[in-house]
Amino acid sequence: MEIIFKYSAFWILPIFGLALSISLLLYYQNKREEFPRIINAILGINRFLVLFLLGLFLLSPMVKTKVKELKKITILLAVDNSKSIILNPDSAFYLSKFTDDIFQLQDNLSKKYNIAAFMFGNQVHHLDSLNYKESSTNISLMINELYNQFRHKNLGALIIATDGIYNNGENPDYLSKNFKIPIYTIALGDTNIRKDIGIDRIAINKVAFLGDKFPIEVETVSKKCAGNIAEAQLFIDSKLLETKKFSINSNYQHDVIRFSPKADIQGIRKIVIKIKTIDGEYNIKNNISTVFVEVLNSRQKILIAYNSPHPDISAIKRSLLKSDNYQVQLLPFSRVNSLQDFNLAIFYNMPENRQEGEKINNLLSKSSCPYLLIAGIQTDINAFNSLNTGLKIKASKNITNEILPSLNEDFELFGVSKEFQNLMQELPPLNGLFGSILVSDDIEIAIYQKIGNVKTNFPLLAIRNSARLKNGVLMGEGIWRWPLFDFQNNNTTDNFDEFIGKFVKLLCLQEKREKLNVDYKNVYKESDNVEFNATVYNSSFELVKSAEIRMLITNLNSKIEYQYIFNNSGDASYSLNVGKLIPGEYSFKASTKIENFTNSKNGKFFVQAENIENLNLESNHHLLNQMSSSSGGKFYYPKDISKIVDDLEKRNDLVNVEYKYLRYSDIIDLKWIMFVFILLLSLEYMIRKYLGSY
């Protein structure tokens, strides 16, 4: 241990001298005759110590100590909590004894190691109890999450208890190599091949159009069913439409059955595919599957007009075509003569001159088509200001600038996912015109401009939702970099596509002005939380921030009703999360009182069963053995689970790590020092009080 000072230790001598001088002055030169000499000496020494300590505290003394800390090695334990574990003849064993054995293993390991225990299926959770109800299995997700969370820790081994069946994510064997630690696998489930035929996959578009035929491809897998005739049935809204038979000629056969029903009714259609049960079949839960298709009246036609090609145009088109709702046409602006046939017009990097501005105004005056204007570095400021966009640029000449996006957290016209919010903080800049921007009162800003590290009040992306023509404005070019950045960081462009899709949908939407609006999905998976968002308007169509919205949800199969109240965030947005609901068809009625009148909104949605765990019950122990052998671990069956602790203890490379470091502590933070200081002050006070000095 060593005492050091923040300021020069030279000051100790002056402090010592000053404290001594003051003490002598008080109790020697001006000694009190009524006090005995010994008392004067005690009081003088006491006062000296108080002053000297106080002076030392001003030098910020610290104690430097050498610390040794032993950190135990960490063992990771991950247990498969998916349905497939108990969809076999040994289900009772896994629900009772195996579960007890896992928690006993956790206890035994914790005596020597740090244990981090998890359970996984379609998500990863801390291990507290096992119920085997997860609707899918993503082993690679579990490996990724544990790797990201523990890669900088002193890891010893990863123990995985699973049947090796994964129906989401990547091959876990590839990802497990990132860990660089031994992987011990406990092989669960049943590897026996039994007689079975089941639906492996249904390929269907989420959207169909009224009057068109839409394709449905049903992929089936049959095992040990050679010599049988199988039958596939197509039901739409509980009505049997078509039956197809096919022969099974081998003991492992893959078939594709195709249906092409006509979309004759608009709305959400429930599609059920059934495979008739074959005698002696082991697993009949994979013989039925349900999907949904939304039948729309027509596609939305979108025009992208441009003067010269640009990667932004391709990026926007690609993003829009991710949805079957849109039909996109690219046209040079010189060939655009009318907007009558379009539901949305996008003018890219325009207008470049006064003539183009006049042409755009002329086209818009003869149409009710909403539009999105993308103002790039070629856009002429005066021509831009001649358009009725709701924005005016104040600048003497075209000077460009790099513009970063900054999300407007108060934007309420549609919700933005957390993933996109996080992504936006890192997105590359756009190139746009430099200058201040005047914004009209009816403009809603979705994204602000950020110049360097300074967030401005100028819009980067905005929408005018209340004018005769809806319009949006993007004040920059180079947006093609955003989906690339999304893909580099997330291996998908879904976050970018979702945001662009919502913005374009808002522009295309032909709104019927209603005082109560409820936003929801038509179809939820059974693993999804069923969520609603709502907005409320008064008679002047101003947002209401203090409404109470009640929700009645009815299960149309069981007739059970559920009542809820929306959460009010206080900023005119209302939300409701009812959690997970059992599969089935539901109706809802949302209602609120506005200006003494009750307004309501009715709707219907489906919760789709997830039977993915029923499709394949043949355990993949080969995968587990491969993961263990390639990492230097071991492969076990549940009966040998107790051997894992002994095998880990035999490893010479699983050792605890001793860390040595210096610790600096302020002396003033030491409680006993403060106690001594207060004691000295109290002692002088009590002696003088006792002797009648106070």
567-586 mean pLDDT: 89
* Structure confidence at residue 47 (pLDDT): 81
Higher pLDDT, 209 or 497: 497
Write out the residue range of the structural domain in which residue 637 sits: 73-187+618-649
- 657 occurs within a structural domain: no
Residues 495 and 405 in one domain: yes
At 487, the pLDDT band (50, 70, 90 cuts) reads: very high
* Structure confidence at residue 677 (pLDDT): 75
604-620 mean pLDDT: 88
**CATH code, domain with 241:** 2.60.40.10
Q: Please name which of 321, 326, 248 lies closest in space to residue 280, comparing C-alpha atoms.
A: 248
> Which of 296, 319, 351 is the endpoint of a domain?
296
471, 496 contact by CB (below 8 A):
no
> Which of 508, 532, 555 is the endpoint of a domain?
508
Residues 599 and 633 in one domain: no
Torsion of CA 503, 504, 508, 513, to 10 degrees: -10
Q: Going along 501-630, which residue ranges are E strands?
A: 516-519, 523-525, 531-536, 549-555, 561-565, 567-568, 574-577, 584-594, 597-608
Residues 159 and 11 in one domain: no
Helix (H, G, I), strand (E, B) or coil at 613: helix
**Burial bucket for residue 401 (CB in 10 Å: 0-12, 13-18, 19+):** middle
Residues 372 and 499 in one domain: yes
At 9, the pLDDT band (50, 70, 90 cuts) reads: confident
> Which of 280, 296, 312 is the endpoint of a domain?
296
Residues 307 and 289 in one domain: no
Q: Residue 33 pLDDT more than 60?
A: no
Q: What is the mean pLDDT of the chain?
A: 89
Residue 355 to residue 348: CA distance in whole angstroms: 15
Q: Residue 553 pLDDT more than 90?
A: yes
Residue 647 to residue 164: CA distance in whole angstroms: 22
* Structure confidence at residue 694 (pLDDT): 52
Residues 312 and 448 in one domain: yes
Q: Residue 467 pLDDT more than 60?
A: no
71-76 mean pLDDT: 90
254, 219 contact by CB (below 8 A):
yes
Other CB atoms within 10 A of residue 199 CB = 21
Residues 340 and 475 in one domain: yes
Q: Please name which of 322, 342, 323, 320 lies closest in space to residue 331, comparing C-alpha atoms.
A: 342
- 226 occurs within a structural domain: yes
Residues 217 and 328 in one domain: no
* Structure confidence at residue 512 (pLDDT): 59
Q: By mean pLDDT, which of 108-122, 307-321, 608-622 is the weakest?
A: 608-622
* Structure confidence at residue 35 (pLDDT): 65
- 613 occurs within a structural domain: no
β-strands 574-577, 531-536 pairing: antiparallel
315, 230 contact by CB (below 8 A):
no
Query: Which of the listed ranges 52-56, 178-182, 353-357 does the model predict with the highest average pLDDT?
Result: 353-357
At 511, the pLDDT band (50, 70, 90 cuts) reads: low
Residues 182 and 261 in one domain: no
- 382 occurs within a structural domain: yes
Residues 500 and 521 in one domain: no
**CATH code, domain with 171:** 3.40.50.410
Residues 407 and 450 in one domain: yes
- 569 occurs within a structural domain: yes
Q: What are phi and psi of 426, to 5 degrees?
A: -115, 0
- 96 occurs within a structural domain: yes
At 3, the pLDDT band (50, 70, 90 cuts) reads: confident
Helix (H, G, I), strand (E, B) or coil at 336: coil
Residues 20 and 62 in one domain: yes
Number of separate domains in the chain: 5
**CATH code, domain with 472:** 3.40.50.880
Q: Write the pLDDT tens digit of every residue in 416-448.
A: 888 888 899 999 999 998 889 999 988 999 999
Q: What is the 3-state secondary structure (H, E, C) of 392-454?
A: EEECCCCCEEEEEEEECCCCCCCCCCHHHHHHHCCCCCEEEECCEEEECCCEEEEEEEEECCE
Q: Please report, for the chain, how many H helices and E strands are present, in that order.
A: 16, 37
653 secondary structure, DSSP code: S
Q: Residue 513 pLDDT more than 70?
A: no
- 369 occurs within a structural domain: yes
